[in-house]
Amino acid sequence: MKNDKKDIRALTKKQLQEFFVSQGDKSFRGTQVYEWLWNKSAHTFEEMTNVSKETREMLKNNFVINHIRVDQMQRSSDGTIKNAVKLHDSLTVESVLIPTPKRTTACVSSQVGCSLDCQFCATAKLKRMRNLNPDEIYDQVVAIDNESRLYFDKPLSNIVFMGMGEPLMNYKNVMKSIEKITSKDGLGMSPKRITVSTSGVPKMIKKLADDEAKIKLAVSLHSAIDEVRTQIMPFNATFPLKDLKEALEYWYSKTKSRITYEYIVWKGINDNEAAARALVDFCKAVPCKVNLIEYNPIDDGHFQQASAQATDMYQNMLERNGITVTVRRSRGKDIDAACGQLANKSA
């Protein structure tokens, strides 16, 4: 049966209050229902026990709650948890909980599939099906917060938009989800604990700066040489490094917030001194740090992690030039939960 009832969570608190007033009820009822939906994460109207049965029936006749459902949860030997998340239209995305002794980080998806075409990423092999709604992003965070409390005895401390999708290609909904995550009505988390990672969409980076989001920005750079970057991230032909750099300068001038570059060193692609020098040059544009991340093979063997010497060469050159660099080990590889491995295999 086709369901054309409206998703009640698409309404703001004010709209929900107005709806109740239009039904001859009190605006306070709207506040109550809003709290059930957002603070208590109600999946059904039946759960709303301080709302009368008639009101609950009326809501059921008018609305649906398009809540996500964690379909399958996998745990890695290193403690990482991957959730396969079923959406109301049966599509699936994945999100990951990454525990460390000090913090737990949620890695959330922003799209079903991805708009971009990075050659080394498993998600790019899936067609972009649709953008996630703000509440579908928010729900992923709540699910991981609950798991963090349950399995690690502490609330979620950080969020990275590094799951499936390009967050800046779903800008409006990502920003709405962040608003909810940071608001007192939602999780009340500090925006400083949220990192949005982008492959680099210059126009949207500028918009992010203009909107004063107060979040942290990460850029998946992987090469600071246009010809090489276009080969591995073909959209770079449309958004070349010059435009990216200009947008990042704009970002920093507005926010004074240091940028993180994600960078993988691959055999035969960027494991040479000229590539490392280009990265050092690119890093001079704005205050930044570099995460050298481990490559997680996805299939055909075209991309291969470079040797330890090549990574050392990068690390030394960056450090010699006063640039902070961290070499990051992958988490959750055994359950395909590591960077670039999210491809709904568990679904």
Q: Which of 295, 313, 323, 343 binds ligand SAH (CB under 6 A)?
A: 295
- 212 assigned ligand-binding residue: no
Residue 301 marked in a binding site: no
- C-alpha distance from residue 240 to each of 14, 18, 221 (Å): 43, 47, 11
With CB atoms as reference, the residue minimizing the distance to ligand SAH is: 340
Which residue among 8, 201, 339, 343 contacts ligand SAH (CB under 6 A)?
Answer: 339
C-beta of 42 vs 221, nearer to ligand SAH: 221
Q: 205 CB contacts (<8 Å, ≥6 apart)?
A: 168, 198, 217, 244, 247, 248, 250, 251
Q: Considering only 22-30, 180-188, 292-300, 314-322, which stretch makes contact with ligand SAH by CB under 6 A?
A: 292-300
Distances from the Cα of 345 to the Cα of 74, 95, 297, 335, angstroms: 11, 13, 15, 9
The single residue of 35, 54, 94, 147 carrying the catalytic annotation is: 94
User: Based on CB atoms, which residue is closest to ligand SAH, 132 or 339?
Assistant: 339
Which helix (H) or strand (E) covers residue 255, if one does?
helix 241-255
94 is catalytic: yes
120 contacts ligand SAH (rule: CB under 6 A): yes
Residue 215 interacts with ligand SAH (CB under 6 A): yes or no: no
Q: Is the CB of 38 or the CB of 266 nearer to ligand SAH?
A: 266
CA distances from 192 to 29, 216, 327 (A): 33, 6, 22
* Kind and range of the H or E run holding 159: strand 158-161
CB atoms near residue 294 (< 10 Å): 16
Distance CA 3, CA 248 (A): 44
- Determine contact, residues 45/65, Cβ cutoff 8 Å: yes
Pick one of 16, 65, 213, 293: the residue that binds ligand SAH (CB under 6 A). Answer: 293
Tell me if 198 contacts ligand SAH by CB under 6 A.
Answer: yes
Least Cα distance to 166 among 192, 132, 189 occurs for 132
Shortest Cβ 45–ligand SAH spacing (Å): 35
What does the block give as tokens for 296? 């997680």
Q: Contact between 223 and ligand SAH (CB under 6 A)? A: no
Task: Select from 76-84, 187-195, 237-245, 294-302 the region that touches ligand SAH (CB under 6 A).
Answer: 294-302
CB of 298 to ligand SAH, least distance (A): 5
Of 132, 163, 150, the residue nearest 337 (C-alpha): 163
> Which are the contacts of 326, defined by CB distance < 8 A and separation ≥ 6?
289, 290, 291, 292
Query: Which residues ranging from 59 to 118 are in contact with ligand SAH (CB under 6 A)?
Result: 118
Q: What is the spatial distance between Cα 197 and Cα 263, in angstroms, rounded to a whole number?
A: 12
Q: How far apart are the first and last CA of the chain?
A: 24
- 221 is annotated as contributing to ligand binding: yes
- Footprint (CB under 6 A) of ligand SAH, residues 153-172: 162, 166
* Annotated binding-site ranges: 114, 118, 121, 165-166, 197, 220-222, 296
Residues that bind ligand SAH (CB under 6 A): 118, 120-121, 162, 166, 197-199, 220, 262, 264, 293, 295-296, 298, 339-340
* Annotated binding-site ranges for S-adenosyl-L-methionine: 165-166, 197, 220-222, 296
* Annotated binding-site ranges for [4Fe-4S] cluster: 114, 118, 121
Residues noted as catalytic: 94, 339
